[in-house]
Amino acid sequence: MSLESELNLNEHTFTCHHGPNECRGNKIQACALRLIDAGQNTEGLGFNKIATGFINCLMDKADREKGYFPTMDCAQINHVANLNTIDNCVNHTDASNYLSKFGELTDKLQKPLQSVPTIVFNNVYNKEDSDLAQINFVRALCKHIPGDKPECIKSGAGILQMSFVVVAVSIILSKFFS
């Protein structure tokens, strides 16, 4: 069953901690996560590299107080081919439905969300792991990698490069619900 067939046509109402501009930004992110390459993981990474790059760009360059989100610039930088579809989604009930679905996923991990960012390994929230990951991500990640732990820490440089993307995704998703 596709996500579209699971969605209802009713618009959900959200109240965001930082006001309506934050809610709009969250809807942009929800539509991007769902619609860029149809929400598929890319390159076997476990996440959509284009969507993650697009959202990281938005988070970096947005003026949330003014409600400015440089979607066109970020789409060009990250080679997003379907920006018009994303823009249409943001102004449609689909955006609130997608955002609601992401909220349901977050609730399954931790309800209510206790902190931003919340870092999750293997789809299981553990406060100690999340706290450690914010201080030393490689050490937290190594706890969840099978095999020789000293080797994991020695190869931390390669893991660290990949970990920044994983942290970015965690932060992005947790910002939906702050």
pLDDT tens string 35-71: 998 766 666 666 788 998 999 999 999 998 898 999 9
pLDDT tens string 117-137: 888 888 888 999 999 988 888
The C-alpha atoms of residue 140 and residue 154 are separated, in whole angstroms, by 14
User: Taking the domains of the chain in order of start, what are their residue ranges?
Assistant: 15-109, 111-178
C-alpha separations of 125 from 26, 105, 120, 121, 160 in Å: 22, 12, 5, 7, 21
Mean pLDDT within 133-152? 79
Q: Are 132 and 117 in contact (CB under 8 A)?
A: no
Confidence of residue 24 (pLDDT cuts 50, 70, 90): very high
pLDDT tens string 70-118: 999 999 999 999 999 999 999 999 999 998 998 888 888 888 888 878 8
Residue 25 is predicted with a pLDDT of: 93
pTM: 0.71
Q: Are 98 and 31 in contact (CB under 8 A)?
A: yes
Residue 139 is predicted with a pLDDT of: 83
